[in-house]
Amino acid sequence: MWHERRCRDDGGMSECDVVTVRGLQKKYGCRVVVDRLDLDVRAGEIVGLAGANGAGKTTTVECIQGLRKPDAGQLRVLGYNPATQSARLRPLVGSQLQDSALPDRLRVSEALGLFATRRARDGGELLEQFGLAQRRRSVFSALSGGERQRLFLVLALLNRPRLVILDELTQGLDPAARRNVWAAIRQLHAGGTTVLLVTHEMDEAEALCDRIVVLRAGRVLDAGTPAELVDRHARRATVTFTVPDRAAACLAEIRQLPGVQAMDMPSSPRAGARVTVLGDRSIIAHVGAILVRGGTVPGDLSVHVPDLDDALQSLLDRPGDDAPAPADLKTAGNDLIGGRR
Ligand code: ATP
């Protein structure tokens, strides 16, 4: 959802952006793990950060929240500089991070009391929404992995944040809990909350994100809507079937279709042989039409339509010159402000 606001540009940082990152660089010791990264998240958007393990996604969101200090670059989050104004930013941002933990003996209800500010929503409603109402009295150590994950989500949403940062939102959740969490994120979106989501799950990204930014070795490989990324990086559809009787003429016709890029089949096609046709999406309809005209639709006809997962794979498999650049930092620093690692 895009909320109409008048924007003023200020050196590449627009007032409409909830998050603006320019040239972010982060090193651990002499390894550059985030390398001149630019990122914009506009008000009301859900933006996904995707990429292989170690691509720098978590480090980036930690810098955005003021949990880590960047080595270079400019960051603006809800009008604040997270590196120097994190105390002012913190009440406006709700986050569910990887590897979060609470004291073992803390009860769910006590955690809500501990985290709630004056802006807090009704914690009971949130527990209900995320299927934790029956666990109010449970201590943290007694919660399952999925319940802990949902509790952190409840805590992230408790104080009506303007920006929600979710790192591997549904990792370890069962399918029903996953659907509940997605529905809750859609509700937040409808209410105008901005969400930055780190995810490896491309079905999740496709279902929730307005835009996805793909990182490799700390750099942006590409960004766009799920449909744009699929269109740019996974255009090939596959149609597979067993050759019906009297179908040799069909195969010759299929081979001539303009969108067909390759066909995998025996050198002398015969009934009963498996055929795979690769091509752009238009071949799906045309191959189907030819088979129907030929009089028999194979019972095992199957179609693979490329999706975001295929697009991400092809993007990440692409050769590139993006090995992390060495840096001449003298000290290895674990400078996490108040948390992970
Ligand atoms: P994943 O998908 O596995 O969560 P990620 O994209 O979130 O990965 P980061 O957690 O940001 O990646 O890590 C980026 C790189 O930085 C990794 O190679 C990681 O090992 C390294 N790294 C992260 N934190 C530290 C630290 N405190 N000290 C040294 N290296 C670190």
The response to whether residue 324 sits with its C-beta less than 6 Å from ligand 1 reads no
The response to whether residue 54 sits with its C-beta less than 6 Å from ligand 1 reads yes
For helices 108-115 and 145-157, give the axis angle rounded to 10 degrees: 30
The dihedrals phi and psi of 226, each to the nearest 5 degrees, come to -55, -40
Confidence at residue 248, expressed as pLDDT on a 0 to 100 scale: 75
The response to whether residue 66 sits with its C-beta less than 6 Å from ligand 1 reads no
Pocket test for ligand 1, best of 21, 24, 32, 53 (most atoms within 8 A of CB): 53
- Pair 192, 293 in one domain: no
Q: Are strands 194-198 and 46-51 parallel, antiparallel or unpaired?
A: parallel
Residue 91 is classified by DSSP as: G
Q: What does the alpha-carbon distance between residue 325 and residue 306 come to, in Å, rounded to a whole number? A: 33
- Pair 133, 166 in one domain: yes
- Pair 19, 100 in one domain: yes
CATH number where 58 lies: 3.40.50.300
Instruction: Please name the residues in contact with 256: beta carbons below 8 A apart, sequence gap of 6 or more.
Output: none
The response to whether residue 331 sits with its C-beta less than 6 Å from ligand 1 reads no
Q: Are strands 211-216 and 46-51 parallel, antiparallel or unpaired?
A: parallel
In a domain, 33, yes or no: yes
DSSP 148-177: HHHHHHHHHHTT--SEEEEESTTTT--HHH
The response to whether residue 268 sits with its C-beta less than 6 Å from ligand 1 reads no
Which is the closest atom of ligand 1 to the Cα of 55?
6
Q: Domain range holding 245?
A: 236-305
The response to whether residue 53 sits with its C-beta less than 6 Å from ligand 1 reads yes
Confidence at residue 249, expressed as pLDDT on a 0 to 100 scale: 80
- Pair 133, 192 in one domain: yes
In a domain, 322, yes or no: no
Q: What does the alpha-carbon distance between residue 60 and residue 79 come to, in Å, rounded to a whole number? A: 18
- Pair 271, 201 in one domain: no
DSSP 220-285: EEEEE-HHHHHHHH---EEEEEEPPTT-HHHHHHHHT-TTEEEEE--SS--TT-EEEEEE-THHHH
**Digits of tens for pLDDT over the chain (341 positions)?**
333 344 444 545 555 689 999 999 999 999 999 999 999 999 999 999 999 999 999 999 999 999 999 999 999 999 999 999 999 999 999 988 767 789 999 999 999 999 999 989 999 999 998 889 999 999 999 998 888 888 998 999 999 999 999 998 888 788 888 888 888 888 888 888 999 999 999 999 999 999 999 999 999 999 999 999 998 998 889 999 998 877 778 888 999 999 999 999 877 777 788 999 999 888 999 999 999 998 878 999 999 998 999 999 999 988 875 544 444 333 334 444 433 44
Q: What does the alpha-carbon distance between residue 261 and residue 62 come to, in Å, rounded to a whole number? A: 44
- Write out the two tokens for 308: 């975001």
Q: What does the alpha-carbon distance between residue 291 and residue 149 come to, in Å, rounded to a whole number? A: 49
**47 burial via Cβ count (<10 Å: 0-12, 13-18, 19+):** buried
Which is the closest atom of ligand 1 to the Cα of 29?
29
- Pair 132, 264 in one domain: no
The response to whether residue 199 sits with its C-beta less than 6 Å from ligand 1 reads no
In a domain, 313, yes or no: no
- Pair 169, 111 in one domain: yes
pTM of the model: 0.81
Q: Are strands 9-10 and 13-14 parallel, antiparallel or unpaired?
A: antiparallel
